[in-house]
Amino acid sequence: MSVILSVHDAIIKALAVIAGALLLFMFAIIVYDVTIRGMGWGVPVWAVNTTEYALVYVTFLAAPWLLRQKGHVFIQTVTGLLSPRLKWWTEKLVCLICGAMCLMLAYRAGVVTIESFGEIEITAFEAPRWLRYWTMPVGFSFLAIEFARFLFSRDSLYGADQGGL
């Protein structure tokens, strides 16, 4: 089991690195776009659509790693008011609900991705429509796994200062 979790960790780290590289790529595209426009050399019509795709990719590729690092948002004011036992139960319920939601969204996003095979999206450039969606089922699936890890482990979803029992 530890080998599987190690592979899982390596995959979500790799996805996060790809997301980081995409952020740098988006930065370069935006600088290029603004520079070209500012110099009056025309408008790179592909820049906006490329950035749109990259924004979706960055979101869904980085989300599992962010959850693993406990970099997500939670309302510390609420969790701070709960007793340790109630906090533990609340955390497990949150993990269960969020994991189930991620599984449902992964399924639905997978269906949309598969249904979009063969379709072409025509914007500033032509691209297969599934390219816009493929990171959604991947990201939601890895998020569901992360929530399951928190659900079945002693590791707290909220970090060391918000630990359970």
CA gap 107, 95 in Å, rounded: 18
Residue 23: exposed, middle, or buried by beta-carbon count in 10 A (0-12, 13-18, 19+)? Answer: middle
What tokens appear for 156 in the block? 């707290």
Secondary-structure percent of the chain, ordered helix, strand, coil, rounded to 5: 75, 5, 20
pLDDT tens for the chain, residues 1 to 165: 789 989 999 999 999 999 999 999 999 999 999 999 999 998 888 899 999 999 999 999 999 999 999 887 777 777 788 888 998 999 999 999 999 999 999 999 999 999 999 999 988 888 899 999 999 999 999 999 999 999 999 888 877 554 444
- pLDDT value for 118: 93
Amino acid (1-letter code) at residue 21: A
The CA angle 36-51-124, to the nearest 5 degrees, is 75
Residue-wise pLDDT tens digits, 120-144: 998 888 889 999 999 999 999 999 9
Side-chain half-sphere exposure of 82, counting CA atoms within 13 A? 18
Long-range contacts of the stretch 125-131 (C-beta < 8 A, 24+): 125/46, 125/49, 127/53, 131/53
- pLDDT value for 81: 86
